[in-house]
Structure 1
Amino acid sequence: MSLPASAVPTRINNPMVDIKRPALPNYRPSIWGDRFLSYPTKSMEHDGNLVQHQRLKEEVQRMLRDPVEKLSEKLELIDAIQRLGVSYHFEREIDDLLGRIYEYRLAKSMWKLMKTFTLLLFVFGYLGNKAIKFQVDNKGNFKESLVHDIRGMLCLYEASHLSVHGEDILDEALKFCTTKLESMVANDLIPSDLAIQVSRALKRPIRKCLPRVEARHYFAIYKESASCNEVLLKFAKLDFNILQKQHQMELCHLSKWWKDLNVAENLPFARDRVVELYFWGLGGGFEPQYSLSRKIFTKVGKKLRRQLLEYMKLIYNVILDVYEEVEEELSKEGRLYCIYYAKEAWLNDKYVPTPEEYMSIALTSSGYLILTTVTFAGMGEIASKEAFDWLFKHPKILKGAQVICRLMDDIVSNEMEQKRAHIASIIECYMKQHGVSKQEAIEEFQKQLASAWKDINEDFLKPTQVAMPLLERVLNLARVIDLLYKDEDAYTNVGEVMVEGITFLLIDPVPI
């Protein structure tokens, strides 16, 4: 999410003087109405699903802990657990097993074994580019024989999105696999059991997918796969639906809070997007233990979207109310230091942009430091004081997420905002400075986006500076941007991907 740089006032002399404003935006009203007000706000039984859920979980744990008889089957199991969105239940078991598999790979170095699971080990930080170097010929080109191994090439394509700066071989792998796979899709050369998976990967590689959204899509794919484990699939579906009930309760609470603010009357310039913003926070972290984090994100995030000077007093008062509420929650945990950092983030976010320093101001006005900080505040003891100190040093992963947020937002919203007499966007600034076309400017920013993703990937290399769940929160917020701003501003316009995401995650349960 971003607060447009043009929303920050460049001059305030006399608050009584009428201020010339851009044309009012034609924001659509909420398409959800009072739908989410009808969900229960208190915990409820799940018709025996919790008991069955626990039994199936224990069965999956046994599968992971059983002696390794056929390594490929273990790898398939871990891969499916990740893709189905339930790996948070088995972090210790998976990490231990992957460590053993990594040592085995060093001894065997077998493409036949590892080709389908290169991405899996990349995700956990075990492999660098050495895993794929033996697929390059003596001239430095990828072997054409790879085109006969579509599944292996798909995995190589996915793994290449975890590239970091200096790993040219992965950049070449991405170009090679993208070109070959796109050609195969266009000419119907991919078997039906892989066609849907390949097409989706070309649109949304796993590295940029929200885990919860990806899981919902993967249920159908996994059901039809030869390696489908019925116990795991049933467990994942139950887990999804049980968590969905919790998310619905949270959104009901937030919808009532939002309605009590009487936004339509008090803030007519605002976008009525509390459901969409909760989806944003849910994308940041869907796990049950991060309920408070999602609530804080949604409430504070709504305050970042206000854009009229005369309403700042009302907004400020609501912000104070939110922080007071959060203080009460955190005081029970003895973690009031979180509030200090959250307030510091709020104060440090008030920059005034100029054309010359557009990006430096725009990155700050994106609000991502604030939102990441308050997200950490709701994550429990794992968000230690040291974690907040690390965040306030502006690590690469945070800067990368800010760049992704700012550039993707500017690219898709440029035309609309210029119609409303906004100040020059980053696109106009670049076009004027370098004398290039709009398309050339966008191509340059696409390169910067690719670089920002590499910055994010670098902070995931082991040993990491902070706990993995904290890194994943920042990564997931960047993934939300990629989902909602890839082709359009799906947040403001409530585009197709937003509607589909909310329907999948917050309305329709998974058929068991």
Structure 2
Amino acid sequence: MEISVARKEEHERQKGEIRNLLLQSDEDDSTPKLELIDLIQRLGVGYYFEKEIGKTLRCIHDTDSTKNNDLRAVALRFRLLREEGLHVPCDVFSKFVDEEGNFKESIKNDVEGILSLYEASNYAVDGEEILEKALEFCSSHLGSLITNINNSLLTRVKDALNIPIRKTLNRLGARKFISVYEEDDSHNQKLLNFAKLDFNLVQKIHQKELSHLTRWWKELDFANKLPFARDRLVECYFWIVGVHFEPHYGIARKLLTKVIYMGSVLDDIYDVYGTLDELTIYTTILRRWDISAIDQLPPYMRIHFKALFDVYVEMEDEMGKLGKSYAVEYGKAEMIRMAEMYFKEAEWSFKGYKPSMEEYTKVALLSSGYVMLSVNSLAVINDPISKEEFDWVLSEPPLLMASSIITRLMDDLAGYGGEEKLSAVHYYMLEYGVSKEEAFAELRKQVKNAWKDLNKQRLEPREASVPILTCVDNFTRVIVVMYSDGNAYDNSKTKTKDMIKSVLVDPFMLSS
């Protein structure tokens, strides 16, 4: 059902009212304003008010006292300011620690405070021992309290322990939090109504885009022509919505969905179907990007290469309109580089070669596809990304390396035992002579440390512009959702269907 003109007018009016709330003069206590910002962001409508929120948080950072002794308020301030990229020392939490370095008994019954501290501790950078202890303390304590708290708070605690705010996708997080917030007796009805209506409006845009993409997918007919490949168009679109959900990124979503879909089929060609001779020819032709050489390929590869070639022709046309034609070459080059890494892995498999952990990691960080997707994403978004910025991204800066480590290792950890091909788990066990459990522990530690590196890159002064940071951050969040308890992309009949339904299918009921 289409959303009426009257509803859209109501949406604009409500947006103005919320903006006025944000612009009201600050009170002596900044906590109410921080709570409002937190609600706006968690309800999924913060993207309308980024300038106002940024200005308010900077003002609070520069002028607000840190004398507040309320754990929930201190942790909320810490989290929101760090999310904005502003430096806040972790010793603001030292007042809640006793002389032996343990968290005080007095806070152990403060569930809201502990939940807030847990969320804040996920913004830790390397060397912040108090936040390490906080994460361990809160995780354990919240887990033990689950049987003793009410339904609304119970849902929030369970959701946080599953995936904290730092690692949550905007649409998925908003969908869950709107329902939780509605159960709160003290909810702001105007803010709730606005969040529901906005969710439905954005969802309707996504549904129309997916309908257009489905027509493209049906015309490709890969399900019949390339039956060996994973056929996951809707999952690919959901993935991209996790990175760029905002209405003005429609062209980016369309192109990126096609890129990730073609990349997924390319992975299957190299991983499960092609012979080494066929893959050698395909890799050579991809390097040259030579459509005139297509007849040298076997029929199934011709089908894929022609479709892939057409996607980048379309990208050149769309980006030409935005004055970003130069960006397409960066995206194309990363697709080719990913194929070269696929070929290297295929060679290892065909020849029975066992690389060292270092050798595997060098290839696998690129074959994970996240560098390719990040670069292609920056190529197609509306935001201006200069040639110098593309070159910086390709120089393997800490931001991209941290993201790549998280995405690669979470993929390998989730896929261990479910795939025949070898992964970081196998190579680590082989090289260091350790058990599966020891390998898992070490690789999870590396993921944890990479998150700290990623958190550090958020803090000012930072090398990356906001569009680059947001893109890389969101791709990393996608992997947490998709691989947190198994490979939800390959096994799409699991929780993925429920997530897709909640974000792309089911609207909220609106009050009349």
What pairs up with 1:213-292 in 2 under 5 angstroms? 213-292=172-251
| Structure 1: runs of 5+ lacking an equivalent | 1-38
Between the aligned residues of both structures, percent identity stands at: 41
Aligned to 1:431: 429
Aligned to 1:449: 447
CA distance in 2, matches of 1:214, 1:361: 33
CA distance in 2, matches of 1:397, 1:382: 19
Deviation at 1:452, TM superposition (A): 1.5
Any conservation in 2 of the 1:181–1:198 contact (CA below 8 Å)? Answer: yes
Any conservation in 2 of the 1:197–1:221 contact (CA below 8 Å)? Answer: yes
CA distance in 1, matches of 2:161, 2:206: 30
Aligned to 1:325: 314
Any conservation in 2 of the 1:404–1:452 contact (CA below 8 Å)? Answer: yes
Partner SS, residue 25 of structure 2:
coil
Instruction: Select 1:486's aligned residue among 484, 487, 502.
Output: 484
Any conservation in 1 of the 2:121–2:135 contact (CA below 8 Å)? Answer: yes
TM-score for both structures, normalised by structure 1 = 0.87
Aligned to 2:52: 93
CA distance in 2, matches of 1:193, 1:268: 45
What pairs up with 1:141-180 in 2 under 5 angstroms? 141-180=102-141
CA distance in 2, matches of 1:134, 1:86: 34
What pairs up with 1:130-141 in 2 under 5 angstroms? 130-141=91-102
Change (3 A) 1:109 1:73: closer
Deviation at 1:159, TM superposition (A): 0.8
CA distance in 1, matches of 2:46, 2:20: 14
Aligned to 2:74: 114
TM-score for both structures, normalised by structure 2 = 0.87
Aligned to 2:509: 511
Aligned to 1:400: 402
Partner SS, residue 381 of structure 1:
coil
What pairs up with 1:61-80 in 2 under 5 angstroms? 61-69=19-27, 71-80=30-39
Partner SS, residue 458 of structure 2:
coil
Does 349-358 or 148-157 show the bigger shift?
349-358
Cα deviation digits, residues 392-422 of structure 1 (max 9, x gap)? 122222222222222122222221212xxx3
Change (3 A) 1:49 1:390: farther
Deviation at 1:183, TM superposition (A): 1.3
Deviation at 1:283, TM superposition (A): 0.5
Any conservation in 1 of the 2:312–2:328 contact (CA below 8 Å)? Answer: yes
Deviation at 1:65, TM superposition (A): 0.6
Aligned to 2:15: 57
Partner SS, residue 257 of structure 1:
helix
Aligned to 1:19: none
CA distance in 1, matches of 2:40, 2:56: 13
Any conservation in 1 of the 2:240–2:253 contact (CA below 8 Å)? Answer: yes
Aligned to 2:279: none
Aligned to 2:351: none
CA distance in 2, matches of 1:109, 1:382: 41
Aligned to 2:457: 459
Aligned residues: 464
CA distance in 1, matches of 2:75, 2:230: 46
Deviation at 1:320, TM superposition (A): 1.2
Deviation at 1:141, TM superposition (A): 2.1
Deviation at 1:150, TM superposition (A): 1.2
Partner SS, residue 172 of structure 2:
helix
CA distance in 2, matches of 1:396, 1:292: 29
Change (3 A) 1:435 1:152: same
Amino acid at match of 1:167: E
Partner SS, residue 187 of structure 2:
coil
Deviation at 1:47, TM superposition (A): 3.9
Deviation at 1:109, TM superposition (A): 4.8
Larger RCO (CA within 8 A; separation ≥ 6):
1
What pairs up with 1:180-219 in 2 under 5 angstroms? 180-185=141-146, 188-219=147-178
Amino acid at match of 2:315: V
Amino acid at match of 2:131: L
Does 489-498 or 165-174 show the bigger shift?
489-498
Does 312-321 or 293-302 show the bigger shift?
312-321
Is the aligned partner of 1:499 residue 2:497?
Answer: yes
Deviation at 1:110, TM superposition (A): 4.4
What pairs up with 1:251-400 in 2 under 5 angstroms? 251-306=210-265, 307-308=268-269, 309=274, 310=298, 311-349=300-338, 350-351=340-341, 352-353=344-345, 354=348, 355-356=355-356, 357-400=359-402
Deviation at 1:117, TM superposition (A): 3.9
Deviation at 1:204, TM superposition (A): 1.2
